[in-house]
Amino acid sequence: MRQLAPLFGVSKSAAARIIDHLGPLLALQPRRRFARDAVLIVDGTLVPTRDHLVAEQSKNYRYSTNHQVVIDADTRLVVVVGRPLPGNRNDCKAWAESGAKDAVGNTMTIADGGYPGTGLVIPHRRARGQAELPAWKQEHNRSHKHVRARVEHTFARMKSWKILRDCRLKGDGVHHAMCGIARLHNLAITG
């Protein structure tokens, strides 16, 4: 703020108030409807944050929030960012509680194996005592993995922004930061 304020001829506190006001307005707005033949991909990512009121210690031993991110499989644009949940929540619970499930509705959505019983398209698993999957299921898992890698590439691009590697914002600031970075990611892809 000390560097930004003199550029516009305002005080530090005025610059902070303006950014606090404009931040949520620049955030990604969730879509209301999707095309009938749309295919979406969902996955959760952990965003380290210092606000211990919205975060919990997660598998990386840092205080993090779990964000469910949904992208369009064709365009690779982020279409939904769920509300942040504590980082120790598994993806099944986070999918339902973050609001991402409600935002997607009945649109076909692909996920990894961490979403059993959610109605999402997940890879085939071997049954207990089964030596191998049939060839057609192995081929389906291979194509599923190639398509689902798109969401991991999206996370890699989004986490190149420093704010998502160590978020110092409090309360809803973590969610606004994630939505803002999603919006910037979409702008970078569309040109």
pLDDT tens series, the chain, 191 aa = 788 788 888 998 988 888 778 766 666 666 667 888 899 999 999 888 888 888 888 776 788 889 999 999 999 999 999 999 988 888 889 999 999 999 898 899 999 988 998 999 999 988 888 889 889 999 999 999 999 999 999 999 998 888 888 778 787 888 888 888 888 888 888 87
Output the CA–CA distances (angstroms, integers) from residue 146 to 68, 123, 149, 154, in the order listed.
20, 12, 5, 14
Per-residue pLDDT at 130: 86
| Residue 39: CB atoms within 10 Å | 15
CA dihedral 114, 116, 107, 78 (to 10 degrees): -10
Residues paired with 81 in a beta bridge: 69
Per-residue pLDDT at 30: 64
The CA-to-CA distance between both ends of the chain, in Å, stands at 29
Q: Distance between CA 149 and CA 134 in Å, rounded?
A: 23
Tokens 């999918």 locate to 95
Angle between helix 12-26 and helix 173-190 axes, rounded to 10 deg: 70
pTM for this entry: 0.80
Domain boundaries 32-125+133-190, CATH class: alpha beta
Within its chain, how far is the Cα of 114 from the centroid?
15
- Please state the domain extents for the chain: 1-30, 32-125+133-190
Is the separation of the CB atoms in 185 and 157 below 8 Å?
yes
Is the separation of the CB atoms in 148 and 120 below 8 Å?
no
Q: Classify residue 167 by its DSSP letter.
A: B
Tokens of 46: 């952990």
